[in-house]
Structure 1
Amino acid sequence: MSTSANSVAITPMSNRERLFHTLLFEAVALLILILILTLAAVLITGEAPLKMGLMAVILSLIAMLWNLVFNKVFDACFGHDRINRSLKLRIGHGLAFEAGMIVFSFPVIMLILNLSFWQVLLMDIGFVTFFLVYAIVFNWGYDIVRHKRLHQGGFSSAEI
């Protein structure tokens, strides 16, 4: 445990908390995707809702694995002081995460929907835009709530 410039103890996320964070992130994202984006994608692509829902679940599983690996490495490189991260660093975090998701998601989308690279690229721009904004807002909100709970005695990182 270290301290930041404002002398508040910095508690790194435990592996258990990272898993909780990842599951919460994906559960909220899936709810949004299924309720809003999957319907829009069905209307735009004409694909069956079940196929689009299946794709959303598969992409969510890929995202959970990538999230666990990426955030562990990101925290190791940029420190565990998540509450004091600048907007610039948060945007960089979101862009780097989404770049990795593009690499992992393209083949899956192309295979499931039988689309060309260019069709998937156009479709993925919408998903990447959504997830970039969502990731920044979700993680910033999570960091604020986590910081308040940790420093007001609400829970410890190991309890999650």
Structure 2
Amino acid sequence: MTANKSITERIFQAIGFELLAILICTPLLAWIMGKPLVEMGAVTIAIAMLALGWNVVFNGFFDRMLKRWNIPHNAWVRVAHALLFEGGLIVMGVPLIAWWLSVSLWQAFLLDIGVLLFFLPYTYVYHWGYDVVRERLVMRSVCQS
């Protein structure tokens, strides 16, 4: 993991993360749910935008609370952060999914849990792969200089 990335590179990495996830999830979820590809693509993009917005709001709030209460950033805080973030996303996402796809809240919840289970390894593999490719490109650039 490389800490010295520019804001432009971080934006590029985040957009790549979301675009690849949408390209993988849309056809897979359309097939699982028996829904049209366009409809599932629209809901996938909507959930990605919701997650992006929630990420900005939640992380800003969470960081302010840690600072205000002088709480150290340890493993337990990271676990609480992950659970609260995902819990909030489920609370907002499940009704949206149920409404958009005309399914029950239970079906939407199960779909959301399935997507979460996809994103756990996907996040790890994507960021690892990005860092490996980036390192090779940086090393090639340095060697050619």
TM-score of the alignment, normalized to the shorter chain, above 0.5:
yes
CA shift, 1:26, in A, is 5.3
Aligned to 1:120: 108
Shift of 1:94: 1.6
Equivalent in the alignment of 2:85: 97
Task: Name the residue aligned to 2:118.
Answer: 130
TM-score (norm 1): 0.59
Indicate the residue corresponding to 1:110 in structure 2: 98
- Equivalent of residue 62 in structure 2, options 74, 77, 86: 74
SS of the aligned residue for 2:96 comes to helix
Give 1:27 deviation, angstroms: 2.2
- Match for residue 46 of structure 1? 34
Q: How many residues matched?
A: 116
Kindly tell me: are residues 92 and 130 of structure 1, through their superposed partners in 2, closer, same or farther at Cα, counting changes over 3 Å? farther
Q: Partner letter of residue 35 of structure 1?
A: L
Secondary structure at the aligned position of 1:61 is classed as: helix
One-letter amino acid matched to 2:51: A
Mapped to 2, the partners of 1:48 and 1:127 lie a distance apart of 18
- Read off the aligned partner of 1:68 and give its amino acid letter: V
Cα distance between partner residues in 1 of 2:118 and 2:13? 13
1:122 Cα shift? Answer: 1.2
Measure the CA separation in 2 of the matches of 1:55 and 1:75.
29
- Note the C-alpha offset of 1:43: 1.2
Q: Counterpart of 1:56? A: 44
The sequence identity of aligned pairs, in percent, is: 34
Larger RCO (CA within 8 A; separation ≥ 6): 1
Question: In structure 1, how many angstroms separate the alpha carbons of the residues matched to 2:29 and 2:17?
Answer: 15
Distance 1:124 1:133, change over 3 A: same
Q: Higher helix proportion, which one?
A: 2
Distance 2:102 2:119 in 1: 23
Q: Give the superposed CA RMSD.
A: 2.9
User: Is the Cα contact below 8 Å between 1:33 and 1:56 reproduced in 2?
Assistant: no
Kept in 1, the 8 Å contact 2:51–2:89? The answer is yes
* Alpha-carbon spacing, 1:120–1:87, altered in 2? closer, same or farther (3 Å): same
> In 1, are the aligned partners of 2:25 and 2:44 still within 8 Å (CA)?
no
Shift of 1:112: 1.1
C-alpha spacing 1:130/1:75, structure 2 compared with 1 (3 Å): farther
The match for 1:35 among 23, 26, 30 is 23
- Residue aligned with 1:60, SS: helix
